[in-house]
Amino acid sequence: MNADLPDATNAAVVGVGNMGRHHARVYSELPNVNLVGVFDVNDEQAREVAEDHGTRAMNLEALLHAADVASIAVPNQFHAEITSQCIDHGVDVLVEKPFVDDPEVGQELLDRADEAGVTIQVGHVERFNPAIRTLADIVADLDVIAIDAQRLGPPPGDRQVDESAVLDLMIHDIDVVLAMLGEKPDEVNAHGVKNNQYATASLQFDDAVATLTASRVTQQRIRKLSITAEDCRVNVDYIDRSVEIHRHSLPEYIEDNGDVRYRHESIVERPTVETGEPLKNELESFVAAATSGTDPVVSGEDGLRVLEVARRIDDIAADERPEAEVSAR
């Protein structure tokens, strides 16, 4: 907590459950940021997190009066309501993904925020993964042909998740793909099983195709993305934050003891990936955008575009299920 700094940005966290408590931790660690307080409908949980990070548990109205910026980490159905209150108080806001349930409501919030001069950033934290930051520099020089992303894992044992694997997991990769290609897909196909706890999607763009898989029923945790380009293949591992670029050297014939052999070597480049916690990178970037009035890295408009594609995938995958499974929802 940096309350002794007169020019510190006062930060608040609304909702300190599984994700929000990490927002509180990071704000308490950032220089020139004062974690002014936290709020949660669970008073005991709010007091516990506040005590852990040297701040106060406050009621929502008092908290928003005291804050310059706020993270919203409440269940998705309350995102719009809390964001609206932040706008009314002139508080810049980072909303955890997905931005809202209803894109029309989201657009109304963005219009109001624009009129009020309030910054809205959406919490697509993978954009701040050091490996993805490195990838962004590489992709700028590539002619991308195809993207393949896998985000798989077992059911979460420590939290209740109401969303499908598309809206909870695949949405991260949708955001990365849309940011990478700079456009929305022309065509979307999808399939899902187990109430979309396992889902695949194919996105067709002007000159590229993306294949995405998300699962909450796979007994192995995988977070990987691969790019096929004209002259290389790039592999990213989100978990160990590594990037590999695979290239082929020119084929050649070599002579070995009178025998002529064909050789085609593969060259693997491993660019340096900066260290750093993605959430800390995200909140640093958010505070910088809010205090300087510059555009956030992941804007509210970005969040809406991603949400629209994710909902489309989720709906198509649901329609692909057997009739008995769909009627059982």
Q: What pLDDT is recorded for position 61?
A: 97
Residues 65, 93 contacting (CB under 8 angstroms): no
Question: What stretches of 126-264 adopt beta strand conformation (E)?
Answer: 144-152, 187-193, 198-204, 209-215, 222-229, 233-237, 242-248, 252-256, 259-263
Instruction: Match 């809010």 to its residue by tokens.
Output: 290
The C-alpha atoms of residue 309 and residue 174 are separated, in whole angstroms, by 8
User: What does the pLDDT look like over 285-326, one tens digit per residue?
Assistant: 999 999 999 999 999 999 999 999 999 999 999 885 544 343
The C-alpha atoms of residue 103 and residue 291 are separated, in whole angstroms, by 27
Residues 238, 224 contacting (CB under 8 angstroms): yes
Distance of CA 231 to the CA centre of its chain: 28
Beta bridge partners of 11: 35, 69
The C-alpha atoms of residue 283 and residue 304 are separated, in whole angstroms, by 20
Q: Is the pLDDT of residue 167 over 70?
A: yes
Which residue would you say has higher pLDDT here, 126 or 254?
Answer: 126
The C-alpha atoms of residue 143 and residue 148 are separated, in whole angstroms, by 15
Order of strands across the sheet that contains 9-14: 33-39, 9-14, 69-72, 92-96, 120-123
Q: What pLDDT is recorded for position 326?
A: 37
Tokens of 15: 């909702």
Residue 179 parent element (H or E): helix 171-181
The C-alpha atoms of residue 187 and residue 184 are separated, in whole angstroms, by 9
Q: Is the pLDDT of residue 199 over 90?
A: yes
pLDDT tier at 7, thresholds 50, 70, 90: confident
Name the percent of the chain in helix, strand, coil, to the closest 5: 40, 30, 35
User: What does the pLDDT look like over 123-157, one tens digit per residue?
Assistant: 999 999 999 999 999 998 899 999 999 999 998 77
Q: What percentage of the chain carries pLDDT values higher than 70?
A: 88
The C-alpha atoms of residue 87 and residue 42 are separated, in whole angstroms, by 24
User: What does the pLDDT look like over 210-224, one tens digit per residue?
Assistant: 999 999 999 999 999
Count CB atoms within 10 A of the CB of residue 198.
Answer: 20
Alpha helices (H) in 53-117, listed in sequence order: 60-66, 79-88, 103-116
Which residue would you say has higher pLDDT here, 107 or 326?
Answer: 107
Based on the number of CB atoms within 10 Å of its own CB, is 268 exposed (0-12), middle (13-18) or buried (19 or more)? exposed
pLDDT tier at 158, thresholds 50, 70, 90: low
Prediction pTM value = 0.88
Residue 194 backbone dihedrals phi, psi, to 5 degrees: 55, 50
